[in-house]
Structure 1
Amino acid sequence: MVQCCLCTGRVKAIARSLGTEKDAVAETLFDLHTSLGAPTSLAEIGMKEKDLDQAANLSILITILVLLINNQFDNYLSMLLKASALKKESRFSQKIWRSF
């Protein structure tokens, strides 16, 4: 799995605050989320299946904007190139490549 260099430090900080290992952050956050009764699916917050493509596109654009603002866009492109080299292209990364 290719990790963004921006995320590595943040995951460690979150792990420390949750009192867990960095490899268990996602599971720990999910458990906390569900224990609070929060929704666990897009359908539970009212998103329709027909809206998923638009939501994915907006997510990509927001990610790129945040990275540009934080001067981290080069790191993002590097991460995508590594993912492509590992032949782990998903529908998400294919859409990104088509947008350039």
Structure 2
Amino acid sequence: MEVKEEHKDLLRGLGLCDRDFELFDGKFVRYEYDREKGVRIYDPYYATSFEEYIDADGWSSWSIENDTFMTNIIKDAQAETQRREAISQRPGPEEVAEAIRRKFNVKDND
């Protein structure tokens, strides 16, 4: 599927990069343009670098909507994940191996 030059800036505004335009095959990755609403993409398998919400029907929201719902949630979740990882006490590989040996009653071969 050919991506029209006049639509590329709108698609970039959704977060797509130039290499994503090669993925538009008209079947699994495509887009629609509306003069009033802008563009939206059909990318149900997230093949492109689009990071926002894609509905169950495979379509993103229209570019005029400036939907950043997913980015906002992910940003907060990533910060919380990093905070928890920093305070988490993780066992080392030897501790994990020993716990598995005990759980499955495996004797050391030494």
Task: With the length of structure 2 as denominator, give the TM-score of the two structures.
Answer: 0.22
Task: With the length of structure 1 as denominator, give the TM-score of the two structures.
Answer: 0.24
Report which of the two has the higher share of helix.
1
Looking at CA atoms only, which structure, 1 or 2, has the larger radius of gyration?
2
